[in-house]
Chain A
Amino acid sequence: MIDVSSLTKRYGEKTAVDDLSFTVRPGVVTGFLGPNGSGKSTTMRLILGLDAPTSGGVTVGGKPYRDHVAPLHEVGVLLEARAVHPGRSAYNHLLALAQTHGIPRARVDELIELAGLAGVARKRVGQFSLGMGQRLGIAAALLGDPKVLILDEPINGLDPDGIHWIRDLLRSLAAEGRTVFLSSHLMSEMALTAEHLIIIGRGRLIRDISVSDFVRDSSRNVVRVRTPQAGELRELLLAPDVRVSSDAPGVLEIEGLSSDDIGRSAASSGFVLYELTPVEVSLEEAFMALTHDAIEYRGSDSTATTTIDEPERIAA
């Protein structure tokens, strides 16, 4: 259980986390979602007491992190920036962490095996690929068999095999009643891994919602209709809970009616339809629409602008 209450962190003029409150419950995988620079990593550092909050507070398992006598058994951590000395071997890195708690060497060997690092455990970490580094970070997080896991972008740099491995691992850890909290900036990834979502933007809470609710809320089906009688069809279909928009002559985008309803109405009035296509709004688009206002660092290239603007138009 992680309890964040009115957490605020300012670095000089910049507010990284702004009056943030949420609870991460045990037994489910909770995704922490937000665009880059939205305060996810800062929040995680605040949870761990690495940074001190400007105001507000956070407890893990009922206590501030610093008050735990055996923090590695309470919380396992993977931090985004590789928190490892590149000159040290993977084995010695894990051993040094284990020794702070008197965790036996056998446990270190076990985790090296589990994370698939057996072949490279004696190599210096500086020579590791990003994926290997992530596996080492996950091994370190699991060292104390913790009740809570806090993982910052754990999927970054993993190959498909590794992604599959960590998804299964996280789900089974949550199923055992552990609290699993992982951050990502990819909605599609979270939809596959998490059951609950905490979405933030500019350090503020945007949504605290289950994945299934988010999917239901965001899958407002839009139906695209191409017809020579666009004007008449619009008149026919307009109702209080139906929205019709158009961005090209002869093309309508209709929200609030199913394609069946539209087809039936058009047929009964004798309208000609060239196209009748249900368009699903992807979760990624719904997420981007949600965080649109909160995006601080917008892409300057045209592709980035398109992907950000498109969902806004659809959701508008």
Chain B
Amino acid sequence: MSSATVTLLRPREVPATHVTQGRVARSEWTKLRSLRSTWYTLLITAVTTIGFGVIASAATASRWSSMSFADKATFDPLSTSLLGVNFGVLAIGVLGVLLITGEYSTGMVRSTFAAVPTRLPVLRAKVGVLALVGFAVALPSTLIAFFAGQALLSSEHIQISFSHAGVAGAVVGSALYLMLVGLFGLGLGTILRNTAAGIATFAAVMFVIPPLVGILPSSLANAIDPYLPSNAGSAIMDITVQAHTLSPWAGLAVFAGYCAATLAVGAVVLMRRDV
């Protein structure tokens, strides 16, 4: 290739532009939508949230006539139809972790931080994009799970109405919980910067620690249990009054607090460490 051709092909002047938070958010949206893992994890989140809720509702409806009086007394149509949320958290949590650890494991993070050397706008953009996308997938999922579940339960006339006090809040709140779980995963991933460590820590906090607390003396377990992240967050799905659990919105607020704290630590790590 002659130097003349090179000169002709040489890039022409680009209009002067600069980094803004909004532009970084658009960039993060492009990054999020352009990876298959995003769509797989979101699909699994929706499928498990809806699927397990439907299965639990269908199973309860078919067993209802043969269930004991005690079982019937503790039956809650709302939390039965939202049971799948507890499984959906795993997929959306993994998405949150991958959103940042995928950058570190591939080296993409160096391109990212070379373009946005102040770094923090990148984390803020990831939080914003993940929150929007996560909620956009989670809300239809919890709504479908609820209405499909209640339709199945209505065969035994044990359904609950969407207009019943607290129900609409619980369904929307469950979607917020799923969204927040994604952000919690993002926070953990930002601190740990490693996919395996991020997912393992996430799974340990959400799924392994709660049963372990049950081993403790009951006075201690009862004091700790409501404040465990998964228990605090999933309180949003239960509008019946129970001992040793937080009220729905108080529980969700506690979980949001964990997310905020994790992301804050992540932000400090992000600004300080070499990449």
Residues of A within 8 A of B (CB): 45, 48-52, 65-66, 68-73, 75, 77, 79, 81-89, 92-93, 95-104, 107, 110-111, 113-114, 140, 142, 144-145, 161, 164-165, 168-169, 171-173
Task: Identify which of A102, A114, A161 contacts B17 (C-beta below 8 A).
Answer: A102
Q: What's the least CB distance linking B204 to chain A, in Å? A: 26
Do residues B107 and A145 form an inter-chain contact, with CB atoms below 8 A?
A: no
Task: Identify which of B19, B34, B106 contacts A101 (C-beta below 8 A).
Answer: B19
Stretch of B22-30, B53-61, B207-215, B228-236 contacting A (4+ beta carbons < 8 Å): B22-30
Are A50 and B6 also in contact (CB < 8 A) when A71-B117, A101-B19 are? no
Do residues A107 and B106 form an inter-chain contact, with CB atoms below 8 A?
A: no
Do residues B11 and A100 form an inter-chain contact, with CB atoms below 8 A?
A: no
Do residues B24 and A88 form an inter-chain contact, with CB atoms below 8 A?
A: no
Report B231-275 residues with CB < 8 Å from chain A CB. 274-275
B169 at the interface (CB under 8 A from A): no
Do residues A83 and B107 form an inter-chain contact, with CB atoms below 8 A?
A: yes
Do residues B27 and A97 form an inter-chain contact, with CB atoms below 8 A?
A: yes
Do residues A84 and B3 form an inter-chain contact, with CB atoms below 8 A?
A: no
Do residues A88 and B19 form an inter-chain contact, with CB atoms below 8 A?
A: no
Are A45 and B30 also in contact (CB < 8 A) when A79-B110, A85-B106, A144-B14 are? no
Do residues B16 and A82 form an inter-chain contact, with CB atoms below 8 A?
A: no
Do residues B274 and A102 form an inter-chain contact, with CB atoms below 8 A?
A: no
Do residues B111 and A97 form an inter-chain contact, with CB atoms below 8 A?
A: yes
Q: Which residue of B lies closest to A176 (CB)?
A: B10
Q: Which residue of A lies closest to B6 (CB)?
A: A168
Considering the chains assembled together, what is the distance between the CA atoms of A196 and B19 in angstroms?
A: 33
Do residues B3 and A102 form an inter-chain contact, with CB atoms below 8 A?
A: no
Do residues B107 and A77 form an inter-chain contact, with CB atoms below 8 A?
A: no
Do residues B30 and A92 form an inter-chain contact, with CB atoms below 8 A?
A: yes
Residues in A neighbouring B11, C-beta threshold 8 A: 107, 110-111, 114, 142, 145
Do residues B14 and A145 form an inter-chain contact, with CB atoms below 8 A?
A: yes
Do residues A70 and B18 form an inter-chain contact, with CB atoms below 8 A?
A: yes
Q: What's the least CB distance linking A94 to chain B, in Å? A: 10
Task: Identify which of B7, B37, B110 contacts A50 (C-beta below 8 A).
Answer: B110
Q: What's the least CB distance linking A133 to chain B, in Å? A: 11
Do residues A79 and B107 form an inter-chain contact, with CB atoms below 8 A?
A: yes
Are A73 and B24 also in contact (CB < 8 A) when A84-B106, A87-B35, A140-B111 are? no
Do residues A92 and B34 form an inter-chain contact, with CB atoms below 8 A?
A: yes
Are A70 and B9 also in contact (CB < 8 A) when A88-B31, A100-B27 are? no
Q: What's the least CB distance linking B162 to chain A, in Å? A: 40
Do residues B110 and A83 form an inter-chain contact, with CB atoms below 8 A?
A: yes
Q: What's the least CB distance linking A86 to chain B, in Å? A: 6
Are A66 and B117 also in contact (CB < 8 A) when A85-B106, A96-B27 are? yes
Task: Identify which of B6, B19, B115 contacts A69 (C-beta below 8 A).
Answer: B19
Considering the chains assembled together, what is the distance between the CA atoms of A50 and B110 in angstroms?
A: 7
Task: Identify which of A73, A81, A89 contacts B16 (C-beta below 8 A).
Answer: A73
Interface CB pairs A-B, < 8 A, 23: A48-B110, A65-B117, A69-B18, A71-B114, A73-B14, A73-B17, A79-B107, A81-B110, A83-B110, A85-B35, A85-B103, A86-B106, A92-B31, A92-B34, A97-B111, A100-B23, A101-B17, A107-B11, A114-B10, A144-B14, A161-B1, A168-B2, A171-B3
Q: Which 10 A-B pairs have the closest CB atoms?
A: A92-B34, A70-B18, A99-B27, A51-B274, A102-B17, A83-B110, A83-B111, A145-B14, A66-B117, A85-B108
Q: What's the least CB distance linking B99 to chain A, in Å? A: 11
Q: What's the least CB distance linking A162 to chain B, in Å? A: 10
Task: Identify which of B31, B106, B117 contacts A96 (C-beta below 8 A).
Answer: B31
Interface string of B96-117 (1 = CB under 8 A from A): 0000001100111111011111
Do residues A50 and B275 form an inter-chain contact, with CB atoms below 8 A?
A: yes
Q: Kindly name the residue among A75, A86, A97 whose own CB sees the greatest number of chain B CB atoms within 10 A.
A: A97
Q: Which residue of B lies closest to A70 (CB)?
A: B18
Considering the chains assembled together, what is the distance between the CA atoms of A103 and B27 in angstroms?
A: 11
B71 at the interface (CB under 8 A from A): no
Q: Kindly name the residue among A77, A100, A111, A169 whose own CB sees the greatest number of chain B CB atoms within 10 A.
A: A100
Q: Which residue of B lies closest to A9 (CB)?
A: B274
